[in-house]
């Protein structure tokens, strides 16, 4: 399977220590199977941090899914929302989980607003999940450990 990473720099070798914390699934390396999504992320990152917008392609050996600890969310639901909220929270001890790989929807800017409304007490968990049903979601593959990134080969 081909996965894409959008950034403002060329990725020669994945270095987990350079990854930022408090993202949807925690501190780790994020990719998507949707090239257009990676291109948008590359443009956004280059705009914020300067540099070129670069999409790096990786081949993912899917045998990892049966060999490693993997969590997969099929859509934005209550479990996914609580998982993302915990990983994004600076009040929770990080990392919040021990999965090698997590696969699921992206909490984009529209969804992030729903999360803020929930955190601020304007909506409850049921309303948050109901609001997610009407949002267009995209996909992300999160690689959390050295064992996980061994299943990625840069193309």
Q: Cα(56)–Cα(142) distance, rounded to whole angstroms? A: 15
Return the half-sphere exposure (C-beta side, CA atoms, 13 A cut-off) of residue 137: 21
Dump pLDDT digits (tens) for 56-78. 999 999 999 999 999 999 988 88
Q: Cα(45)–Cα(119) distance, rounded to whole angstroms? A: 26
Q: Cα(50)–Cα(143) distance, rounded to whole angstroms? A: 25
Q: Cα(41)–Cα(70) distance, rounded to whole angstroms? A: 24
User: Which one has a higher pLDDT value, 83 or 134?
Assistant: 83
Please determine, for residue 134, whether its predicted confidence score (pLDDT) is greater than 70: no
**Global pTM value:** 0.89
Domain boundaries, the chain: 2-154
User: CA dihedral in degrees (50, 55, 23, 95; nearest 10)?
Assistant: -120
Q: Cα(92)–Cα(119) distance, rounded to whole angstroms? A: 14
- Cβ(82)–Cβ(120) below 8 Å: no
């Amino acid at each position: 399977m081909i996965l894409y990473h959008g950034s403002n720099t060329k990725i020669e070798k994945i270095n987990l220590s350079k990854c930022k914390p408090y993202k949807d699934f925690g501190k780790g390396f994020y990719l998507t199977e949707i090239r257009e999504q990676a291109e948008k992320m590359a443009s956004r990152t280059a705009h914020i941090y300067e540099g070129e917008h670069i999409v790096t392609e990786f081949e993912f050996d899917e045998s990892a899914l049966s060999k490693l600890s993997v969590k997969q969310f099929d859509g934005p639901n209550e479990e996914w929302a609580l998982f993302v909220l915990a990983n994004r929270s600076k009040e929770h001890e990080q990392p919040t989980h021990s999965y090698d790989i997590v696969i699921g929807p992206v909490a984009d800017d529209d969804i992030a607003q729903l999360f803020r409304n929930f955190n601020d007490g304007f909506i409850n968990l049921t309303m948050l999940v109901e609001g997610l049903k009407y949002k267009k979601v995209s996909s992300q593959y999160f690689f959390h450990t050295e064992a996980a990134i061994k299943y990625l080969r840069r193309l």
